[in-house]
């Protein structure tokens, strides 16, 4: 077991709980949510403290809900999804609205919106133009995190048909590195996340000139961001239903 990692997770949870906890004297109910690690600048841990746009926007909503404290635990996207699917966590902080693809989640009211784009290795798409996503990207190799559904149903259908190749990975930064060196051609993710991944790779020693290899190919869509509350967890913990209702009311204000 990585005890240093465990200590950082617990410290992050406690710090966020302290920040979002209710006023002294009010009984507290703890809600444990998982969020993807390393999704700068949206959701990440820095020196044991949860940070990012998702955290900031959720904090504004939670400040209107007395009596609850929220713990954020960071993990890979695949594990984050599985913890909610299996009922081991109250839910996921930072999911797009996908009720058909994720019937095991109750999606909250949106608390954030972001633009999703395709970035590619410029050598791989030299001479090509893109107007229709994903059809215009036929023949290319895409990197995608396991259980990450942002690319959309048509994208995955093209993968099943063999019209594009989908290479699965766990860490998005690793997929971006593969794109830069030509092991894959493109990735789909919010542009701000791609930009942070590039900066992170440079900090780890990737030559700055390699950043030039990344090219914005196409803005795909704007996605709303939600908390995905675990239906299975709620079956065993009915207090989650009350919190979900309070969160939706506060987010709608």
- Domains belonging to the chain, first-starting first, are 3-111+225-252 (3.40.190.10), 113-223 (3.40.190.10)
The pLDDT of residue 28 is 83
The pLDDT of residue 11 is 47
The helix/strand/coil state of 73 is strand
Query: Where is pLDDT greater, at 212 or 154?
Result: 154
| 110-140 residue pLDDT tens | 999 999 999 999 999 999 999 999 999 999 9
The pLDDT of residue 27 is 56
Q: What are 141's two structure tokens? A: 């190799």
The pLDDT of residue 26 is 55
Q: How confident is the model at residue 3 (pLDDT cuts 50, 70, 90)?
A: very low
| 36-52 residue pLDDT tens | 987 889 998 888 889 99
Residues facing 121 on adjacent strands = 214
The pLDDT of residue 1 is 44
Residues 93 and 33: beta-carbon distance below 8 Å: yes
Q: pTM for the full model?
A: 0.79
- Percent of the chain clearing pLDDT 90 (strictly above): 70
The pLDDT of residue 171 is 86
Q: What is the mean pLDDT of residues 70-95?
A: 95
| 139-178 residue pLDDT tens | 999 999 988 999 999 999 999 999 999 999 988 889 999 9
The span from the CA of 125 to the CA of 130, in Å, is 10
In 3D space, the residue among 144, 93, 88 whose CA is nearest the CA of residue 119 turns out to be 144
Q: What is the mean pLDDT of residues 88-94?
A: 97
């Amino acid at each position: 077991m990585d005890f240093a990692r465990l200590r950082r997770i617990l410290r992050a949870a406690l710090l966020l709980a302290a920040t979002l906890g209710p006023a002294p004297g009010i009984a507290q109910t703890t809600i444990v949510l998982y969020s993807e690690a390393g999704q700068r600048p949206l959701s990440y841990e820095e020196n044991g403290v949860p940070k990012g746009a998702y955290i900031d926007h959720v904090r504004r909503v939670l400040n209107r809900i007395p009596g609850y404290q929220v713990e954020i635990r960071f993990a890979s996207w695949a594990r984050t999804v599985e913890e909610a699917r299996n009922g081991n966590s109250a839910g996921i902080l930072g999911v797009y609205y996908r009720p058909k693809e994720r019937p095991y989640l109750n999606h909250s009211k949106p608390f954030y919106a972001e633009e999703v784009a395709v970035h590619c290795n410029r050598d791989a798409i030299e001479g090509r133009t893109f107007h229709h996503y994903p059809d215009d990207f036929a023949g290319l190799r895409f990197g995608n995190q396991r259980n990450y559904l942002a690319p959309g149903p048509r994208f995955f259908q093209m993968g099943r048909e063999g019209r594009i190749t989908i290479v699965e990975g766990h860490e998005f930064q690793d997929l971006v590195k593969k794109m830069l060196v030509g092991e894959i051609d493109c990735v789909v993710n919010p542009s701000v996340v791609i930009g942070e991944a590039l900066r992170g790779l440079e900090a780890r020693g990737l030559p700055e000139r390699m950043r030039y290899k990344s090219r914005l190919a196409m803005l795909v869509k704007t996605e709303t961001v939600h908390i995905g509350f675990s239906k299975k967890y709620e079956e065993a913990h009915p207090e989650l239903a009350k919190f979900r209702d309070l969160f939706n009311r506060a987010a709608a204000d």
